[in-house]
């Protein structure tokens, strides 16, 4: 008769004479190699790792407030290579001070703009970045001056005024002045070409009538003044004898 074979357990690590310390050291070395490979794979990774190591060793420095603006607005904001998922204008609270922070703004159709900034603890700082070529100047003059200038139904200034417009984005320019007819024009800015508008506003019927009445009143007043002067002396008539 055949005897059933009894399963023999595999030898333990101690029986194999493999030191646990060497295994742990090997794992640490492998992790360190992976970390170094990740760190030096790109400047972005290097900045991230160094920032984490510094925070772990010396702790996080006190915070400051950073406000980011752009011309034109609406740019995506990246802080230290991290997408904030928000757009300019943007205020970020509690940004670590005494450290160099990388700012990157992205706008559709434009080359990203970057900046490096260091903040002082407990302070507020505003950084305004411009996308070269993304905007053109809009200069508006009116006769008479002082008209209200509207862009897409939003009042922005009184004439004369100079503003910036987003290239390729149509905007409705409107001028309003009491006593004059509203003036409007759709403008689509072209890259590299500033827009200049010199507008002579047309008087309203009410203003024309009012000016006519004022003119008539002035003429009547002048006539009355002329008629009120002392009349020339007449020669006395001779009496009949």
Q: Where are the domains of the chain?
A: 17-59, 62-130, 135-200
Rg (CA), the chain: 40
pLDDT digits (tens, 9 = 90+) for 191-210: 999 999 999 999 999 999 99
Closest to 91 in 3D by CA, of 108, 69, 71, 76? 69
The whole-number average pLDDT for the span 46-72 is 77
Q: Is the pLDDT of residue 162 over 80?
A: yes
By residue count, the chain amounts to 241
SS in 3 state form for 83-135? EEEEECCEEEEEEECCCEEEEEEECCCCCCEEEEEECCCCCEEEEEEECCCCE
The whole-number average pLDDT for the span 77-97 is 94
Residue 101 contacts by C-beta under 8 Å, 6 or more apart in sequence?
66, 79, 80, 95, 116, 117, 118, 119
Name the band, by pLDDT with cuts 50, 70 and 90, for residue 98. confident
> Which range, of 89-93, 199-203, 220-224, averages the lowest pLDDT?
220-224
Name the band, by pLDDT with cuts 50, 70 and 90, for residue 222. confident
Which pLDDT value is given to residue 23? 66
Q: Which residues pair with 129 in a beta bridge?
A: 70
Report percent pLDDT > 90 for the chain: 60
For 62-130, CATH gives: 2.60.40.10
Which pLDDT value is given to residue 212? 92
Which pLDDT value is given to residue 43? 65
Task: Please check whether residue 200 is in contact with residue 142, taking contact to mean a CB–CB distance below 8 angstroms.
Answer: yes
The whole-number average pLDDT for the span 219-233 is 73
For 135-200, CATH gives: 2.60.40.1120
Which pLDDT value is given to residue 85? 95
Hey, do 62-130 and 135-200 end up sharing a CATH topology, with the first three levels equal? yes
Question: Who wins on pLDDT, 220 or 93?
Answer: 93
Q: Is the pLDDT of residue 8 over 70?
A: no
Instruction: Count other C-beta atoms under 10 Å from residue 171's C-beta.
Output: 17
Which pLDDT value is given to residue 232? 54
Name the band, by pLDDT with cuts 50, 70 and 90, for residue 142. very high
Q: At what angle do helices 43-58 and 20-39 cross, to 10 degrees?
A: 120
């Amino acid at each position: 008769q055949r005897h059933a074979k009894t399963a023999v357990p595999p030898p333990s690590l101690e029986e194999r004479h493999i030191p646990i310390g060497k295994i742990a050291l090997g794992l640490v070395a492998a992790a360190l190699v992976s970390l170094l490979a990740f760190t030096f794979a790109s400047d972005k990774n290097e900045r991230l790792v160094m920032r984490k190591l510094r925070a772990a060793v010396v702790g996080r420095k006190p915070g400051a407030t950073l406000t980011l603006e752009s011309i034109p607005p609406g740019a995506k904001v990246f802080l230290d290579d991290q997408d904030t998922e928000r757009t300019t204008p943007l205020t970020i609270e509690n940004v670590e001070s005494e450290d160099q922070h990388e700012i990157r703004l992205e706008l559709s159709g434009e080359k990203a703009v970057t900046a490096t900034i260091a903040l002082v603890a407990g302070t507020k700082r505003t950084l305004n970045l411009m996308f070269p070529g993304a905007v053109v100047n809009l200069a508006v003059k009116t006769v008479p001056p002082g008209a209200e200038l509207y862009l897409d139904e939003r009042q922005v200034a009184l004439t004369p005024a100079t503003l910036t417009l987003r290239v390729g984005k149509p905007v409705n320019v409107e001028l309003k002045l009491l006593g004059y007819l509203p003036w409007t024009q759709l403008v689509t800015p072209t890259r590299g070409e500033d827009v200049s508008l010199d507008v002579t506003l047309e008087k309203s019927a009410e203003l024309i009538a009012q000016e006519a009445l004022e003119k008539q009143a002035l003429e009547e007043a002048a006539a009355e003044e002329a008629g009120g002067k002392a009349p020339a002396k007449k020669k006395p008539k001779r009496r009949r004898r």
